[in-house]
C-alpha cells in the first residue's frame, strides 16, 4: 500500500487507519509532497517540449511568464496591441472596401518590439539569478546526470531550481522554463563559465 493510499484511507475515516494527530500531519505533508512531485513530472514534460525552441525564444517565454511582476498597464498595452491587430484583421475580412490600414510589415515591427522586450526581460532575470542557480546545480552528480536530456534529469533540475529559488508553488512553471534554458545552454557549460550568463 502506498503512502497516498494509506493517507486517503486515514482521511476518510477508514477503520483500518486509526491514527494520531501526528500521523494526520505526516499524511498531509506526504500528500502535499506527492502532489508537488506529480506537478514536477508534468513540468518536466513541458520543459522537454520547450527544448525545441531556440535560446532567444526560451528567454522570451521566461519574460512572458514574468509579466505578472510588472505593472498592469504594461500587460494591458501588449493585450491592447494584440487586440487591435485582431480587430483590424477581422474588420478587413468583413468589409473588403476598408483601407488595409497598417501593413503587415508595420504590425510585424510592433510584435517584434514586444518579443524583444520579453526576451530582454527573460535574459535579465536569468542573469540576476544565475549565481544562485550555479550554486544549486554545480554538483558533479547533478552535472553527470544531466549530461543527457532525460525526463528524470529535467525533473530533478526543475525541482532543485524551484527549491533553491524558494519559488511559491504557483511559480513552478518558471522553474521548468529555467530548466529548459539550462539544458539548452548545457549545465556543465553554464557552471563552468565565469560571466553571469550565456546568451
pLDDT confidence tier of residue 63, bands split at 50, 70 and 90? very high
Report pLDDT digits (tens) over 109-152: 888 889 999 999 999 999 999 999 999 998 898 899 888 899 99
Q: Taking the domains of the chain in order of start, what are their residue ranges?
A: 37-192
161-199: b or e for each residue (b if 16 or more CB lie within 10 Å)? Answer: bbeeeeeeeeebbbbbbbbbbbbbbbbeebbeeeeebbe
Per-residue model confidence (pLDDT) at position 127:
95
Q: pLDDT higher for 85 or 5? A: 85
The model scores a pTM over 0.75: no
| Alpha-carbon span 13 to 130, nearest angstrom | 48
pLDDT tens digits, 6-51: 333 433 444 444 444 444 454 455 445 544 555 888 999 999 999 9
Exposed, middle or buried: residue 66 (CB in 10 Å: 0-12, 13-18, 19+)? middle
Q: Cβ(154)–Cβ(44) under 8 Å?
A: yes
Who has greater pLDDT, 171 or 102? 171
Reported as a single tens digit per residue, the pLDDT across 155-196 is 999 999 988 988 888 888 999 999 999 999 999 999 988 654
Task: Give me the pLDDT at residue 110, please.
Answer: 81
Amino acid at each position: 500500500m502506498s503512502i497516498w493510499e494509506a493517507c486517503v484511507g486515514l482521511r476518510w475515516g477508514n477503520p483500518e487507519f486509526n491514527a494520531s494527530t501526528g500521523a494526520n500531519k505526516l499524511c498531509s505533508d506526504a500528500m502535499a509532497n506527492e502532489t508537488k512531485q506529480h506537478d514536477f513530472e508534468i513540468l518536466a514534460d513541458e520543459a522537454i517540449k520547450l527544448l525545441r525552441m531556440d535560446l532567444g525564444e526560451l528567454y522570451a517565454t521566461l519574460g512572458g511568464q514574468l509579466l505578472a511582476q510588472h505593472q498592469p498597464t504594461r500587460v494591458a498595452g501588449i493585450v491592447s496591441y494584440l487586440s487591435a491587430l485582431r480587430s483590424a484583421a477581422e474588420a478587413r475580412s468583413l468589409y473588403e472596401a476598408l483601407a488595409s490600414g497598417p501593413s503587415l510589415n508595420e504590425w510585424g515591427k510592433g510584435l517584434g518590439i514586444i518579443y524583444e522586450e520579453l526576451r530582454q526581460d527573460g535574459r535579465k532575470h536569468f542573469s540576476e539569478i544565475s549565481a544562485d542557480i550555479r550554486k544549486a546545480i554545480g554538483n558533479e552528480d547533478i552535472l553527470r546526470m544531466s549530461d543527457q536530456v532525460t525526463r528524470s534529469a529535467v525533473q530533478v533540475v526543475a525541482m532543485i531550481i524551484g527549491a533553491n529559488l524558494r519559488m511559491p508553488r504557483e511559480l513552478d512553471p518558471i522553474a521548468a522554463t529555467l530548466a529548459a534554458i539550462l539544458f539548452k545552454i548545457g549545465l556543465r557549460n553554464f557552471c563552468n563559465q565565469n560571466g553571469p550568463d550565456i546568451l
